[in-house]
Chains A and B, each alone.
Chain A
Amino acid sequence: MSSGTTLGARGRPAPPGTATLGADQDPQVARIARSPEFQQLVSERTRFAWTLTILMLIVYFGFIGLIAFDKSLLAVKVGGTASLGLFVGVFVILFAFLLTGIYVARANTRFDALSDALKRSFGR
């Protein structure tokens, strides 16, 4: 087992035991993991993904929190019959879609470019 890439490289399940191969068995994996390109890609993407995740959690559980603790606020009328709650609910749906769009736009440009540069510099 000379390379971490062999695992799952075919349609056949890998035999047990291969999953425990360590980084020491593939020096290139260790080199990639320590390269500044990899560190930059991972830290940028991790920070971005967790920021968006936390935003989603705040918006959704904020909505649920209002439903649980302040129903009267959501019942406030916004123009005629429609209530504020209705707009907030639809906003949560649109917000979720918007966040996925923001992530994909950033990933397609910035993260893919970083990732390609990394792959080029390691000749994979």
Chain B
Amino acid sequence: MNRLLLGLTLAAVAASAAYAAGPDLGAVQQSATNWPAILMFLFFVLLTLGITYKAAKGTKSAADFYAAGGGISAGTNSLAIAGDYMSAASFLGISGLVYTSGFDGLIYSTGFLVGWPIVLFLIAERLRNLGKFTFADVASFRLDQTSIRIISAVGTLVVVAFYLIAQMVGAGKLIQLLFGLPYLYAVIIVGVLMIVYVAFGGMKATTWVQVIKACLLLGGATFMAGAVLYKYGFNPEMLFADSVRVHPKGDAIMAPGGLVSNPVEALSLGVGLMFGTAGLPHILMRFFTVSDAQAARKSVFYATGLIGYFYILTFIIGFGGIALLMSDPSYYKLGAAGTFDKLKDMIGGTNMVAVNLANAVGGPYFLGFISAVAFATILAVVAGLTLAGASAISHDLYAQVFARGRTTEKHEVNLSKISAVVIGLVAIYLGYVFENQNVAFMVGLAFAVAASCNFPVLAMSILWRGTTTWGALAGGLVGLISAVTMVVLSKAVWVTTFGHPAALFPYDNPALFSMPLAFATIWVVSLMDKSRRAQRERAAFEAQYVRSETGIGATGAHAH
């Protein structure tokens, strides 16, 4: 009995690590070259390159490059936002988590979704009214340009770096598995394509790549979930009953399991997921691509619906994997006596549940389609991240901090393109270096930094009159450093990566501590700040307030 419990705990721990992974596939075998998947992926690449070519011809000004000229409609933008959010990690990771742990997968789905209402109620419209290209525009609206842009750009680049590493490593492993291509090829293909999309097509191309991928992913997932439900006469109860019958954990998959055993851990995870969403730079920049606050508002509403729908689909797909795959030995690596462990021996690992299920319900061509979509998903997400990073370097660091505003628009856009190329090359290099590292904690870390550095600086500068430059700078730094330090001292890095015997920080998720610390620092330091600059900044709040609440003065920001 004890051994069984231990086994379950280990499986749950493995699963919780898997969620973020950008599929953390561990050591994978390269499979046979999968031609249908490669052909379908090539078709996607050609289509998106065509769009990039068209976008490149229409991209002239900085507003075109960073914000697609402000001409994206609410519906299109909602698909792009949903696309940024529906990474391969959510699709493969969460369906894999549902497969191993059932109900526990739903905890992540809800956590990823509930940040959206907060973004809508507190951030989206004000962001659109105040900003131009990056969220640093908003945070530094009445505060000191240099300091606030530095802390915002650093927060952005840290989030982008961790997110990118996880995606690159995931892409390499996934393509090794799905397409039968060597790891390094895969990483280079992803890196080169994302450079082309971003450097030539800017935000227009990045948005449309994301929109196409979102449609393909939603379409594919809908078909899969539909096929699963069809087999059970559209009666979920029958699906659940069948799943409980074949799952090794039996009825336990319908109830909360060992994934969230510690209340503090559960809360901290929730805080990180919920408020991290409101601080992700590649998501925030999407609010500058629409014409006005009304469109920003509508795009969050539609995007919340699309993302919620998608998470419900992944839940059905996970259960479909249990019910339809677990009784079919052809999806498992068989042991000596023809036996297999349903939770550990799935071909390609449990992150491949959705892919194997595609084969089960739609045959090899649908498998190829889903593989191509999974690759396209990674590609679109890294393109968005690259653009967010390039904007932070050129628009925030270069134009405002180094050139002090004395640069030309053309020069700034060129520097942004160069930054995109450099970020792409660095991403290829990091993807190569981290091939055999455990990167599962990195998406979690990206969310924690977003919730502890970007979100507090942004929220306090918009919402609280008393915020001063010193307060925002100190709070942002404290949030950033404490979040990264706590993760480094946690089990995932301190024990697993560095090999120390015991973790110095007891929880995997730091946000419950690092985020309030950042808010408190901003508050205290701002209150103590008696400088003349601080008085000017408080006095300037009124003008910012009027514009953030009404949009007066913001209209036409992108009219070209």
**Would you call B400 an interface residue if the criterion is a C-beta within 8 Å of the partner chain's C-beta atoms?**
yes
Nearest neighbor of B544 in chain A, beta-carbon distance: A4
From B274, which residue of chain A is reached at the shortest CB distance?
A60
How many residues belonging to B are interface residues under a CB distance threshold of 8 Å?
84
The stretch of B10-18, B50-58, B104-112, B470-478 that contacts the partner chain:
B104-112
B233 to chain A, nearest CB (A): 14
B141 within 8 A of A: yes
Q: Is the interface of B mostly helix, strand, loop or mixed?
A: helix
Contact between chains at A22 and B543 (CB < 8 Å): yes
Q: Is the CB of A89 within 8 A of B400?
A: no
> Chain B, 62-95, contact with A by CB distance < 8 Å: what is the 0/1 string?
1100000000000000000000000000000000
Q: Are A60 and B560 in contact (CB under 8 A)?
A: no
Contacts of A24 in B (CB 8 A): 539
A30, B399: Cβ atoms closer than 8 Å:
no
Assess A33 versus B542: contact at CB under 8 Å? Given A85-B103, A92-B110, A96-B113.
yes
Q: Does B545 contact A (CB under 8 A)?
A: yes
Nearest-neighbour CB distance to chain A for B531, whole angstroms, equals 12
Residue of A nearest to B550 (CB): A115
- Alpha-carbon gap, A119 to B540, bound state (A): 21
Q: How far is the CB of A59 from chain B (nearest CB, A)?
A: 8
Q: B182 within 8 Å of A by Cβ?
A: no
Q: Is the CB of B256 within 8 A of A67?
A: yes
Are A50 and B304 CB-contacts (below 8 A) given A67-B256, A67-B260, A71-B255? no
User: Which residue of the partner chain, among B121, B236, B312, contacts A53 with CB atoms under 8 Å?
Assistant: B121
Task: Decide: B254 and A42 in contact? CB cutoff 8 A.
Answer: no
- Contacting pair B237 A80 (CB below 8 A): yes
Q: A89's contact among B110, B142, B395, by CB below 8 Å, is which? A: B110
B122 contacts across to A, CB distance below 8 A: 49, 53
Q: Name 7 A/B residue pairs within 8 A (Cβ), A-sorted.
A: A4-B543, A13-B399, A49-B121, A65-B263, A68-B263, A82-B237, A89-B107
Q: A7-B553, A33-B546, A100-B304 are in contact. List 6 more A-B contacts (CB 8 A).
A: A9-B556, A13-B412, A60-B270, A68-B263, A90-B106, A93-B109
Where the two chains meet, the residues of A that have a C-beta atom closer than 8 Å to any C-beta of B are 3-5, 7-9, 11-17, 19-24, 26, 29-30, 32-33, 38, 41-42, 45, 49-50, 52-53, 56, 60-61, 63-65, 67-69, 71, 74-75, 77, 79-83, 85-86, 89-90, 92-94, 96-97, 99-101, 103-104, 107-108, 112, 115, 118-119, 122, 124
